[in-house]
Amino acid sequence: MSECLFCKIVERKVPATVVYEDDHTLAFDDIHPQAPVHALVIPKKHVAAVRDCGEEEQALLGKLLLTCAKVAQLKGIADSGYRIVTNTGKDGGQTVFHLHFHVTGGRHMRWPPG
């Protein structure tokens, strides 16, 4: 069995509030939301981070961004606007090493993020 937390969510061995799913991507609510809407969009296949992606992940990366946009639609924040973030590695603030895009919105997002 995979030791990766997000692989376990894909396998439904760890519960999550799933927002959207298709053949290659899964979206679920973040367990510690940083905004009124905070979802995570992940590939079903295990990839650790953007830095680990190669040419073979090109289509998957595009698909993940399209899923982010779908999630924003489903959550009702497409018109008001939202932020898509992916943290990569220690200094990037990554804590779960299965590629994920944060989709946050429902309030004005500040910049710089810190």
When CB distances are held under 5 to 8 angstroms depending on the partner's kind, the choice from ligand AMP, Zn ion, none that residue 46 binds is: Zn ion
Query: Applying CB under 6 A, does 88 fall inside the site for ligand AMP?
Result: no
Q: Give 84's strand partners.
A: 103
User: Which of 90, 95, 111, 112: binder of ligand AMP (CB under 6 A)?
Assistant: 95
Query: Applying CB under 6 A, does 30 fall inside the site for ligand AMP?
Result: yes
**Active site includes 46?**
no
User: Which of 36, 89, 93, 113: binder of ligand AMP (CB under 6 A)?
Assistant: 93
Question: Taking a C-beta distance cutoff of 8 angstroms, is the pair 40, 28 a contact?
Answer: yes
Query: Applying CB under 5 A, does 46 fall inside the site for Zn ion?
Result: yes
User: Which of 12, 32, 108, 110: binder of ligand AMP (CB under 6 A)?
Assistant: 32
User: Which of 98, 100, 103, 104: binder of Zn ion (CB under 5 A)?
Assistant: 98
**Least gap, CB of 45 to Zn ion (angstroms):** 8
Distance spanning both ends of the chain, measured CA to CA? 36
Enzyme catalytic residues: 100
